[in-house]
Every structure is written in C-alpha cells, then in structure tokens.
Amino acid sequence: MRISTADFIKNFGTLADQALAEPVRITKHGRDRLVMVSAAEYDRLKRRDRRVVRIEDLTDEELELIAQAEIPAEYAHLDAELENWKP
C-alpha cells in the first residue's frame, strides 16, 4: 500500500491497523519516504541483520557447509578485489 503524507496523517488509525497486515509506504511529493510496518515485522527484520560469530563457536556441521559452499558465477569478478589484499 502506498499513501501520501497528508493522507497518512488524516487516516493514521486505519493505516496503523493496515500496517499490521502489510507494509504501508508513505510518500512525500510522490517519492517514497517512510515505510510503516508492524513491530513483529520490524523485529523479524532486525533478527536478520548480520551477526558476528567466532569461528570457534561454529559447529562441525556449519564448518562443513561453509567448506562445501560454491560461489555463484556472477560473483566471480569479486575475486580480483582480493588479489592484492593484505590484512
């Protein structure tokens, strides 16, 4: 759903309820500016953020899955960026 800022202000209650079921895009001058989502959806998205894991904390199964992983061909060009990399 997409709605202007002015309409959003006028219909906040209804649109807040709508955001429980689907994201509500709020526009200003026809351009997307904000998206209102439910707290549950926001929490789900935050859990998907990258997390830091020490290699010592990985299970043997996870290490094996990493070892077996294959890089898709469309990302092969990124190998060149690592050629001169120094820690």
Residue 35: what are its φ and ψ, rounded to 5°?
-130, 125
Instruction: List pLDDT tens digits, range 2-55.
Output: 999 999 999 999 999 999 999 999 999 999 999 999 999 999 998 888 778 899
**Maximum Cα–Cα distance for the chain, whole Å?**
57
pLDDT at 37: 97
pLDDT of residue 79: 84
Half-sphere exposure of 42 (CA within 13 A, CB side): 8
User: Contact at 8 Å (CB) between 24 and 3?
Assistant: yes
Q: How is residue 41 written in tokens?
A: 């959806």
pLDDT band at 65 (very low <50, low <70, confident <90, very high): very high
d(CA 15, CA 28): 16
Read off the pLDDT band of 85 (50, 70, 90). Answer: confident
Residue 84 binned pLDDT confidence (cut-offs 50, 70, 90)? confident
